[in-house]
Chain A
Amino acid sequence: MEITVHQIMFALFSAIILVFSVLTVTTRRILRAATFLLLVLVSTAGLYFMLNYQFMAAVQLTLYAGGIVVLIIFSILLTSHISQKFEPIGWKKMYFSALAAIAGAILCITTILQHNFQATTEAAKEIDMKVIGNSLLSYEREGYVLPFEVISVLLLAAMIGAIVIAKRKKKE
């Protein structure tokens, strides 16, 4: 069986995702956890490129890897020492959490592998920026103008709320 470039790329991205997502939740240094999270998010963008969703990959890179990780790293620098190590968690908690996570993963994976997915036979739609923009602002069938507007209000509310919460209270 011949191994294609896509399979090599997929193996690379998924290996990075698997290794570093486990390391993100098990490492004892918080800044390293943030760096591993960044690697996971960037290789997820690589998977989106492989799925041929270029716009989603760009959004993932700019918003997740560029925005949220930088926000997390700034808040880490504001709230903890870089050299600080977490105390090791108790074996009981670690054991039962790992048991729950592994049992859930095995259950989901066996269900996925046994299920027979039926794909549509209709022709694939070409997704470029024009299609995305048009359907994002269209109010007809398969238009998304209502969630678009709702999410803009939500983002405004979140922005104002974040400013108000994080603002230092005036001393009387």
Chain B
Amino acid sequence: MLTSGIPMEAFLVVSTIMFFAGVYGFLTRRNLITILMSVELILNSVNINFLVFNRFLFPNQLQGHFFSLFIIAIAAAEAAVAIAIIINIYRHFNSINVENVNEMKY
């Protein structure tokens, strides 16, 4: 098999650190586009997890493979709608920092 010599935990540790890098970015960033990029990091690490579990634990099935395929499709749809909203916000407020966009709160 191609993955011989690499334990499953190595893949999982890599995807965990990627996930929490995304969480850190989501908490600290103030620009809407960089927040979107952090969300993409999180989704991508979840994808790695699904594929690794599929390959190492259940190689006779395809569930993880298709789940991550659908995650990628949903991420594409989400990115398209989010960027449309961000561009619209930029037209209204001339800025995409989250502190400046507080008129919709009330």
User: A residues within 8 Å of B by Cβ?
Assistant: 4, 6-7, 10, 14, 17-18, 21-22, 24-26, 30, 33-34, 37, 40-41, 44, 47-48, 50-53, 56, 59-60, 63-64, 67-68, 71-72, 75-76, 78-80, 86, 89, 93-94, 97-98, 100-102, 104-105, 108-109, 112-113, 117-120, 122-125, 127, 131-132, 135-136, 142, 144, 147, 151, 154-155, 158-159, 161-163, 165-166, 168
B47 to chain A, nearest CB (A): 8
Please tell me if the beta carbons of B61 and A142 are within 8 angstroms of each other in the complex.
yes
Tell me the dominant secondary structure on chain B's binding face: helix
Nearest Cβ on chain A to B94's Cβ, whole angstroms: 9
List 7 interface pairs A-B (beta carbons < 8 Å), by A numbering. Answer: A6-B6, A50-B6, A51-B3, A75-B83, A100-B23, A136-B66, A162-B80
Interface assignment of B103: CB less than 8 Å from any CB of chain A: no
**Scoring B residues 46 to 73 as 1 if CB is less than 8 Å from chain A, else 0, what string do you get?**
0110011001111111110110111011
Q: In the complex, what residue of chain A is closest to B6 when comparing beta carbons? A: A10
Interfacial chain B residues near A135, Cβ < 8 Å: 62, 66
Chain B residues with Cβ below 8 Å from A159 are 77, 80
- Chain B residues near A33 (CB-CB < 8 A): 34, 37
In the bound assembly, the distance between CA atoms of A22 and B80 in angstroms comes to 24
Give complex CA distance A18, B22 in Å: 11
Is B60 a contact of A37 with CB atoms below 8 Å? Answer: no
Instruction: From the candidates A21, A100, A158, name the one contacting B27 in the complex (CB within 8 A).
Output: A100
Q: Within the assembled complex, what's the spacing in Å between the Cα atoms of A165 and B11?
A: 39
Interface residues on B, range: 35 or more
Whole-angstrom CA separation of A122 from B66 in the bound complex = 20
State the B residues within 8 Å of A (CB).
1-6, 8-14, 16-25, 27-31, 33-34, 36-38, 40-41, 44, 47-48, 51-52, 55-63, 65-66, 68-70, 72-81, 83-88, 90-91, 96
How far, in angstroms, from A163 to B57 measured CA to CA in the complex?
Answer: 42
Say how far A45's CB is from chain B's closest CB, in angstroms.
10
A120 & B58 in contact (Cβ 8 Å cutoff): yes
